A = this chain, B = another copy of it.
């Protein structure tokens, strides 16, 4: 059985590759729904449908455990997947997200009474970050900022414009004197160095926290871990493969990956 990593597109590769570095022995199957990316400004109903189809595909491909390496999918669909989808369809499998690891890291750094979050419009509108922060650390103040232009900048070779746009996005968070900032979208891992230059507080990047949290999860859950294949196999699948994606992947992962086109 494999570890599945799902993202709406290719942004999740940053997290997938970081997990593979930390836990190289397992077998991995990455799926990017590049035919319908981005999810960040779709309705909740549509995101539920798309995530459900992706989970069906990955579980039918023998994934024991799936990481929703997409904040929009995690924010909108993780609890629903855990509470309704899994019990009905795959009761012995598991789905994990990327929000809670980021939230845990944010409240653990120093005196984090005021936590900032930047994310896609739909992640912010879902209210999931404030909900999880409040659950883990009641009373913490949360400052959320939708940053809808950052994914297009990452996906369309626009990083050179990121500073001027981030300047505006970060201004209210600086003013609120946040103690830590969560980069609440997998794509933003590619912007972490720039954001760290631009704001004077700890910045939580999911590629740096999710792998360790997954390692701890597998330590605690031997009933899951024992089912995982350990041949170091990797495969990368996408639902659409337009020209230019191979370059984009090289930029994102620093490697030449073999992307396989599939229907889900």
Contact = CB atoms under 8 A, between A and B. Distances in A.
A148 B159 CA distance: 13
Contacts of A41: 155-156, 242, 244
Contact of A240 (B42, B155, B164, B243): B42
Contacts of A209: none
Contacts of A242: 41-43, 46, 122
A41 B241 CA distance: 9
A139 to B, nearest CB: 28
Contacts of A87: none
Contacts of A122: 242
Interface string A127-157: 0000000000000000000001101110111
A196 interface: no
Contact of A164 (B153, B164, B241): B164
B241 A43 contact: yes
A145 B155 CA distance: 17
A177 interface: no
A152 B156 contact: yes
B164 A158 contact: no
A246 interface: no
A161 interface: yes
A149 B148 contact: no
Contacts of A164: 161, 164
